[in-house]
Chain A
């Protein structure tokens, strides 16, 4: 059982459409670099979450094949249980034939979320045994000129964000891509040198690991170190959220992630979210529960930096997003 990174679906927000089956049945999914399985609700799912989501009906697909093995997938904030099937899956004009995917019969923690299922883009080691993740299936069928995918997550507008497969469109970033080797091929995991504010290293002083995870919204780190960062922000814990004075946005320094010798600053406008009349920090603790000395760079970071995931060279490219 692989526990997928902490996923704060409360704020997960970037969703795209895929179809499964013949004729195609459409679903809204999160394209998630923090997991490697594709699953959607089955029409026979009995959980409340399935009543508010689209469900897959195997009877209505002539290309569906029931594999049958039971599956359980654990996420930081939810669990699904169901069984494996296989069918034709389409992402835009990419066609993944005989694609294995999960059909959920029970879901916990996915109630009233703005997506039906999850499409995992992590390495096969994270996937359910004897299944091929969709990116690998497409790659093996020669669907890509370059086995890469990339994300541009728009900060303000609901539209405008994209995930791209098979190459990189340079319109979405500024300057050059900085390439970072993947340190471990299951998550999209990289090594970080340190995290600093105002020229002082505040965390990860002896180096640490970071998961680049589009399925997590905020930024997670070890609770103790996140608490240090919150002290520097004068943040206070209120109803399980770290509240900051909204005026602080004007005076706080950027939080700088040094990765592979390059600084990636996050401005206070990016790490303090204003909703209604209060401002809260995007930093959350808790990663020590799943792996020591590990951070999770979620959408908040990936909105500032266009990200390229290069499977052939096992590296991640980052550049300031336009």
Chain B
């Protein structure tokens, strides 16, 4: 028997951030945080 599980297409974070004009600083902060963690 095949088990079929529904997947829900969620509103993406990019769209949410763009609507709030937060996309740019999110990307900058994200890059900073990841680079900091890379060094860690």
Binding site for B on A (CB under 8 A): 9-17, 31, 77-79, 91-94, 108-109, 112-115, 145, 151, 153-154, 157-159, 161-169, 217, 239-240, 275-276
Contacts and interface: CB of A to CB of B under 8 A. Distances in A.
Given A9-B13, A14-B9, A15-B10, A169 B2 contact: yes
Given A10-B13, A113-B13, A168-B2, A153 B7 contact: yes
Given A108-B37, A168-B2, A275-B15, 12 more contacts: A12-B12, A13-B12, A16-B6, A17-B5, A79-B37, A109-B30, A114-B11, A158-B10, A163-B7, A166-B3, A167-B1, A239-B23
A109 B34 contact: yes
Given A165-B2, A168-B2, A275-B15, A109 B33 contact: yes
Contacts of A217: 12
Nearest to A214: B7
Given A10-B14, A113-B13, A114-B11, A159 B6 contact: yes
Contacts of A14: 7-10
A31 B17 CA distance: 23
Which of B13, B18, B27: most chain A CB closer than 10 A?
B13
Contact of B7 (A15, A77, A93, A167): A15
Given A77-B34, A108-B34, A276-B18, A16 B5 contact: yes
A154 B24 CA distance: 28
B24 A239 contact: yes
Q: Closest 4 CB pairs between A and B?
A: A114-B10, A167-B2, A161-B7, A10-B14
B24 A169 contact: no
Which of B2, B6, B30, B34: most chain A CB closer than 10 A?
B2
Given A16-B8, A114-B11, A158-B9, A275 B18 contact: yes
Which of B9, B12, B13, B30: most chain A CB closer than 10 A?
B9
30 contacts: A9-B13, A10-B13, A10-B14, A11-B14, A14-B9, A14-B10, A16-B5, A16-B6, A16-B8, A79-B37, A91-B3, A91-B5, A92-B4, A94-B3, A109-B30, A109-B33, A112-B13, A151-B7, A153-B9, A158-B9, A159-B8, A162-B5, A163-B5, A164-B5, A165-B2, A165-B5, A166-B1, A166-B2, A167-B2, A168-B2
Contact of A16 (B7, B16, B17, B19): B7
Contacts of A114: 10-13
Nearest to B4: A164
A31 B6 CA distance: 11
Contacts of B2: 164-169
B8 A15 contact: yes
Which of B5, B11, B14, B24: most chain A CB closer than 10 A?
B5
Given A94-B3, A166-B2, A154 B9 contact: yes
B10 to A, nearest CB: 4
Contacts of B8: 14-16, 158-159, 161
A145 B3 CA distance: 11
Nearest to A161: B7
A241 to B, nearest CB: 8
A108 B23 CA distance: 17
A13 B6 CA distance: 13
